[in-house]
Amino acid sequence: MNMMPAGDAPALMDTDAPALTTTDAPALAHAPSDHPRVKMGKVGVLLANLGTPDNYDYWSMRRYLNEFLSDKRVIDYSPWIWQPLLQLVILSKRPFSSGAAYKSIWNHEAGESPLATITKDQTAKMKALMADRYGDDVVVDYCMRYGNPSTKSKVDELVAQGCTKILFFPLYPQYAGATSATACDQFFRSLENIKWQPQVRTVEPYYANPLYIDALAQSIERAYAAMDVKPDLLVTSYHGVPKRYLMEGDPYHCQCQKTSRLLKERLGWDDTQIVTTFQSKFGPEEWLQPYTVEEVARLAEKGKKRIAVCAPAFSADCIETLEEINEEIRESFEEAGGESFTYIPCLNDDDAHMNALATVVDDNLRGWIG
């Protein structure tokens, strides 16, 4: 998406912020001496992920869950019904169980969740890759849809650094209204009170990008090569959404299925070696199926005693992978008679993954730079 700002640009450029091209800099000759100095001429790349609580105590968890579960893109029930249930029932209990889950995976040394640590590492690598390509002309940062750092705070920082163009990159390979769309909603809201709005673009989902598929395949091949006995089956577990969303036009299910198909083809496998499932069901409504937690138990009961599980919808390891898959879903498999369960980590800041993401950025910066 490309949105052009209305109105004339300020007439004086900060000499400490060199322009990308001469067309980005307005004429300076007739600017009055008291004109405010405005930094300009840089391109911002803002990576975005879901979010994380600041800590795993009750109040930190309650704040985070309240923000997350109050998002109408995530829970689209009538607020007259949903909010009393959320505030009086769910948020009185769920912060305790969610806090315990976060505590089990917390990066105690850094004082933050693994998602926060990994997203920082991804951002650092993206900064280095962009610097190699574009020098100082591109500024890279990251934000979270829920929690900190907020989208608004990072948009403001990029504008203050002279970014007159911002590429917003939700780190979700597959599009869903509850992930990519709500991240973009928040990004656009963050522009509301900026006097001189930057030009903006948003990155399309990259679920079929050959470099992304290849990075996934490489991670699976490395994991399999390290095993003495190969798994009977690979389970690709995607975050679920209500089935109703698919019926209402959300393309997420289709994009997940295509990612799995392309991954299978890249690995040279057939349908007996890979299965697609969906996790993280919440509430009584039917979600996309098969449910991962149930499917792994069925596999064990049918004699598939050795499985590997990967999570292609997650660009970074988080509570849903490190705790839900590697602990809860593992337990379901083992209780049903499974013998060997291998969780294959997300791509995180793997070099092949970061090169794939950097190429996506390159494609979306065309016409702006280079």
Quickly list DSSP for 35-48.
PPPB---EEEEEEE
Residue in the structure block whose two tokens are 């608004």: 152
CA–CA separation, 271 vs 297, rounded Å?
19
Are the C-beta atoms of residues 9 and 195 closer than 8 Å to each other? no
Domains of the chain (ranges, CATH numbers): 57-105 (no CATH), 210-343 (3.40.50.1400)
Cα dihedral sign for 82, 88, 90, 94? positive
CA–CA separation, 218 vs 10, rounded Å?
49
Are the C-beta atoms of residues 275 and 256 closer than 8 Å to each other? no
CA–CA separation, 68 vs 320, rounded Å?
15
| Amino acid occupying residue 137 | D
* Residues in the chain, overall count: 370
Write out pLDDT tens, residues 11-64. Answer: 334 434 444 443 344 544 566 766 566 666 899 999 999 999 999 999 999 999
Distance of CA 84 to the CA centre of its chain: 29
Quickly list DSSP for 113-149.
-HHHHHHHHHHHHHHHHHHHHHGGGEEEEEEEEEESS
Residue in the structure block whose two tokens are 């597959």: 174
**pLDDT less than 50: residues of the chain:** 1-25, 27-28
Q: What is the pTM of this model?
A: 0.89
Q: Which of 232, 316, 245, 231 is nearest to 278 (CA)?
A: 245
Tell me the CA distances in angstroms from 19 to 9, 14, 30, 146, 189, one per residue in order.
13, 9, 19, 33, 27
Residue 275 CB neighbour total at 10 angstroms: 19
- Strand 233-239, strand 199-202: pairing: unpaired
Q: Which of 193, 214, 211, 190 is nearest to 202 (CA)?
A: 190
Residue in the structure block whose two tokens are 């997420």: 252
- Give the model's pLDDT for residue 200: 98
- Give the model's pLDDT for residue 369: 86
CB-count burial class (<10 Å; 0-12, 13-18, 19+) for 136:
exposed
Could you tell me the two tokens for 155? Answer: 């948009």
